[in-house]
Amino acid sequence: MATIAELSTELRMATFRLSRRLRAQKADQALSDAQFSVLGGLFRFGSQTLTELAERERVSAPSMNRTVNCLEESGYLARTADEIDRRKANIALTDAGHDVVRETLSKRDAWLTTRLRELSKEDRAILARATELMGGLATR
Q: What is the pLDDT of residue 135?
A: 92
Q: Per CATH, the architecture of 23-138 is what?
A: Orthogonal Bundle (1.10)
Of the candidates 4, 7, 37, the residue with the CA atom closest to the CA atom of residue 19: 37
- Give dist(CA 21, CA 50) in Å, integer: 30
Above 90 in pLDDT, residue 113?
yes
Identify which has the larger pLDDT, 86 or 111. Answer: 111
**pTM for the predicted model, two decimal places:** 0.86
Residue spans of alpha helices (H) in the chain:
4-23, 33-45, 50-57, 61-73, 95-117, 121-138
Residues 74, 15: Cα–Cα separation, whole Å: 31
With contact defined as beta carbons under 8 Å apart, do 47 and 83 qualify?
A: no
